[in-house]
Amino acid sequence: MRESTSGKIFSVFVHTVLIIIALTCILPFLHLIALSLSEGHAVDLGQVFFWPVGLDFTAYEYFFQNTPALRAFTNSVIITVGGTALSMLTTVLTAYPLSRRYLYARKPLTTAALFTMLFSGGMIPTYLVMNNLNLTNTYWSLWFVGLISTYNMLIMKSFFENIPGEVTEAAQIDGCGEMQLLLRVILPLSLPMLATLTLFYGVGYWNMFMNVILYINRTELQNLTVVVQSMLQIQSMDNMMAMDIMQQQELISEKLKAVGVMVMVVPMLVVYPFLQKYFVQGIMLGSIKG
């Protein structure tokens, strides 16, 4: 079937808009890569755009050797891996019972969960609870505050409910209890949804900033987001005073900032391809109804 002239014009328009949107995402990233790899004098003179001028890894070397970035990177990994695992565990253990129609008080419990999306205890009461439990300056304060997302839990609950009842009934006839049904039947059928929510939780923990500022006062426990943000704001660090003036001019400005942002972004870019296959399926959850 031949496409009409109006259809061709619309197709060209849509592709043009999508290309422009893609370029607005790609070009700033390419600019950051070029800044982080270019020579210092080229960065200072504003000669760097989307391709490195020269090739200089001095900023990366300085960033990991003379700043708390490496320790902060380790903290970010611990916070992200531990927090994502705990959040997924609690989300599954909450969503699965609520998805079972024979659960007593199922509707009131779901309504109570929805209530938390509209109202919360607030920043100060939450801090007082963490402080009274002696959880401040520990990773547990970060994990408990962001332990479960009601929105993610409702997505998981909806997915569990849409699994055909014949499948669960067959498993129960074969002798599966609730835990076996969850582990051997429900979760294997839910890989796209699990991968999608894992990515959501992981990105949230990796980029966590405000909770770290509130609950972590010890600098040795702060994550990479806080360290990079501090560098973006103050533009200098105490131990730079030992460097000569030329080295400060080469590293302190845009180049070191670009390195910090790159170190923040690259880990998520590395993880995403492994989850992409499931993520594409997961974002289509609920888009088709029988």
**What backbone phi and psi angles, to 5 degrees, belong to 130?**
-65, -40
**Pair 150, 219 in one domain:** yes
Q: Are residues 4 and 94 in the same domain?
A: no
pLDDT at 251: 47
Does residue 149 sit within a domain?
yes
- 17 and 75 belong to one structural domain: no
Beta-carbon contacts of residue 228 (< 8 Å; ≥ 6 apart): 69, 260, 261, 263, 264
Residues 6+ apart with CB under 8 A from 208: 79, 142, 146, 223, 225
Helix (H, G, I), strand (E, B) or coil at 101: coil
Residues 13 and 83 in one domain: no
> 44 and 181 in one domain?
no
> pLDDT tens per residue, the chain (290 residues)?
566 777 778 888 889 999 999 889 888 888 888 877 777 667 666 677 778 777 777 777 777 777 777 888 889 999 999 999 999 999 999 998 888 888 888 888 888 888 888 887 788 888 888 889 888 888 998 899 888 888 889 888 888 888 887 777 787 777 777 888 888 888 888 888 888 888 889 888 998 888 888 898 888 888 888 887 777 665 544 444 444 444 444 445 667 777 878 888 888 888 777 776 666 555 555 444 44
Quote the pLDDT of residue 162: 84
CB 76 within 8 A of CB 266: no
Nearest to 258 by CA among 29, 93, 94, 47: 29
Same domain membership, residue 62 and residue 51: no
| Number of structural domains in the chain | 2
Length of the chain as a residue count: 290
User: How many whole angstroms from its chain centre is CA 135?
Assistant: 23
Residues 252 and 125 both lie in one domain:
yes
* Inside any domain, residue 266: yes
Sequence-separated (6 or more) residues with CB below 8 Å from residue 163: 186, 189, 190
> 26 is in which domain, residue-wise?
1-56
Same-domain check for residues 20 and 47: yes
- Evaluate if pTM is beyond 0.85: no
Residue 289: inside a domain, yes or no? Answer: no
132-135 long-range Cβ contacts below 8 angstroms, 24+ apart: 135/215
d(CA 262, CA 174): 52
pLDDT at site 290: 41
Q: Answer yes or no: is 3 within a domain.
A: yes
Amino acid identity, residue 149?
Answer: S
Assigned domain for 288 exists: no
Do 154 and 190 sit in the same domain of this protein?
yes
pLDDT of residue 289: 43
Q: What is the CATH number of the domain that holds 190?
A: 1.10.3720.10
In a domain, 83, yes or no: yes
Q: Do the Cβ atoms of 225 and 205 come closer than 8 Å? A: no
CA distances from residue 135 to 128, 130, 145, 215, 221 in whole angstroms, order as listed: 10, 5, 11, 8, 13
User: What are phi and psi for residue 229, nearest 5 degrees?
Assistant: -60, -40
Tokens representing residue 289 in the block: 């109804």
SS3 content of the chain, % helix, strand, coil (to 5): 75, 0, 25
